[in-house]
């Protein structure tokens, strides 16, 4: 990229649009190509979907896929970093159950920051990635009333340990582990401009620590316009109320005609089916082919595209990553959709942490990105003087 390349000119009509599409930084971890979808450090996400989550973390932090020896060493490193201060877990168990699971996650990250941070971005980035499974499992067990937190066994592997710490009542641990390994890799990173990633990096640019920055990022993810999409997609599937293809097609037509969202379809950047969706549909056919809600998602995949493609105003009629993830999570034992954004955050914190490391320690030949400080244009503020009334 040329040092003097002007990406585009900001005109008045682009103001107050949420900076949509504004290039504000360079990103080394991932890219979303409109036609080919998500890539991690140049590798298509479909190629990486079934690698070890630890290998994907290594890729985002070190920009290369580890060989066998590097991966073994890195897994041992994450095992050592996985220890969470007992006081963090105790504080989590004392949170009010009226709080949303994402509020618990934000609190858990802040607790961990108070008690576990080193102040070094790379150290804390890797530490928090290793610690997140225990924090999230403690949130699940305590708030769901499943019992006391289960002791961590990090030697099992990142997602293997997470599933055993969850101890989900009635779940098939083997199926859930297979799902979570793929789910984790698919949701780790998504460019640098999405809200949660942008917020995390912006907060870190003020030299806030990694834990505080990730807490802020998760507050962004908590919003219904960002991280709760998989929950809304599951509710949309339930609303359809049938697996009959023709009735589902009519349901979609009615929703579209009423101006309501067709959840799980379309994407801000992509103009083709999200490869992450394709991976999950295939995984669903392996793990839960007879689950009624997953079957409905497959029908929706066909009929929603048919309806949406017929409308020339729809730029992308294809399924995105959220179209089917909720039905898979439910089929594998995680029935409460209120927690799905927490699972999203469990994964996404790894990508945001890696981007924070890059922006603080790598960009501009190691000087780091300066504090974020966009400008604004004052409107309806004529200069005047206050005159004291008698």
Q: What are the catalytic residues? A: 226, 267, 322
For the chain, the C-alpha Rg in angstroms (whole number) is: 22
Single out the residue of 257, 265, 259 nearest to residue 305, CA to CA.
Answer: 265
Which of 320, 299, 185 has its CA nearest to residue 251?
A: 299
The count of other CB atoms within 10 Å of the CB of residue 63 is 15
Residue with tokens 């789910």: 183
Annotate 113-165 with DSSP letters as a single string. HHHH--S-HHHHHHHHHHHHHHHHHHHHHHHHT--SPPPP-GGG-HHHHHHHH
Dist. CA 188–CA 196, nearest whole Å: 12
Helices 121-144, 340-357: crossing angle, 10 deg rounding: 170
Please give the structure tokens belonging to residue 11.
């005109």
Cα–Cα distance, 356 to 369 (Å, whole number):
10
> Cβ(143)–Cβ(105) under 8 Å?
no
What SS3 class is residue 372? Answer: coil
* Rounded Cα gap, residues 277 and 235, in angstroms: 17
Q: What is the SS3 assignment for 358?
A: helix
Q: Which residues of 183-194 are buried (b: 16+ CB within 10 A; e: fewer)?
A: bbbbbbbbbbbb
Give the tokens for residue 10.
């900001």
Q: What DSSP designation does 44 have?
A: E
Distance, in Å, from the CA atom of 137 to the CA atom of 144, rounded to the nearest integer, reads 10
CA atoms lying within 13 Å on the CB side of residue 386:
1
């Amino acid at each position: 990229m040329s040092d003097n390349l002007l990406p585009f000119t900001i005109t008045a009509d682009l103001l107050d649009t949420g900076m949509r599409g504004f290039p504000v930084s360079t990103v080394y971890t991932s890219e979303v190509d409109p036609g080919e979808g998500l890539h991690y450090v140049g590798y298509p996400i479909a190629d990486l979907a079934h690698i070890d989550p630890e290998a994907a973390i290594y890729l985002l932090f070190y920009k290369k896929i580890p060989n066998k020896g590097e991966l073994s060493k890195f897994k041992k490193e994450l095992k050592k970093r996985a220890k969470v201060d007992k006081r963090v877990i105790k504080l989590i168990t004392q949170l009010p159950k009226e709080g949303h699971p994402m509020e618990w996650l934000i609190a858990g990250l802040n607790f961990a920051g108070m008690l576990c941070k080193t102040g070094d971005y790379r150290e804390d980035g890797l530490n928090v990635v290793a610690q997140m499974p225990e924090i999230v499992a403690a949130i699940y067990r305590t708030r769901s009333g499943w019992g006391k937190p289960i002791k961590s066994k990090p030697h099992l592997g990142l997602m293997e340990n997470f599933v055993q710490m969850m101890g989900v009542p009635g779940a098939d641990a083997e199926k859930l582990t297979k799902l979570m390994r793929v789910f984790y890799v698919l949701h780790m990173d998504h460019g640098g401009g999405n809200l949660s990633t942008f917020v995390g990096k912006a907060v870190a640019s003020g030299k806030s620590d990694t834990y505080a920055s990730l807490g802020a990022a998760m507050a962004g993810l908590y919003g219904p316009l960002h991280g709760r999409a998989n929950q809304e997609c599951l509710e949309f599937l339930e609303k359809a109320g049938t697996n009959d293809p023709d009735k589902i097609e009519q349901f979609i037509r009615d929703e579209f005609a009423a101006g309501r969202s067709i959840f799980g379809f379309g994407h801000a950047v992509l103009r083709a089916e999200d490869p992450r969706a394709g991976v999950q549909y295939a995984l669903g056919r392996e793990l839960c082919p007879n689950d009624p809600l997953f079957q409905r998602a497959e029908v929706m995949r066909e009929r929603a595209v048919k309806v949406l493609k017929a409308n020339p105003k729809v730029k992308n009629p294809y399924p995105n990553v959220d179209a089917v993830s909720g039905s898979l999570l439910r089929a594998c034992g995680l029935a409460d959709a209120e927690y799905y954004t927490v699972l999203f955050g469990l994964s996404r914190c790894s990508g945001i942490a890696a981007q924070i490391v890059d922006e603080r320690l790598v960009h501009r030949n190691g000087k780091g990105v300066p504090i974020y400080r966009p400008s604004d244009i004052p409107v309806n503020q004529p200069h005047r003087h206050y005159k004291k009334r008698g």
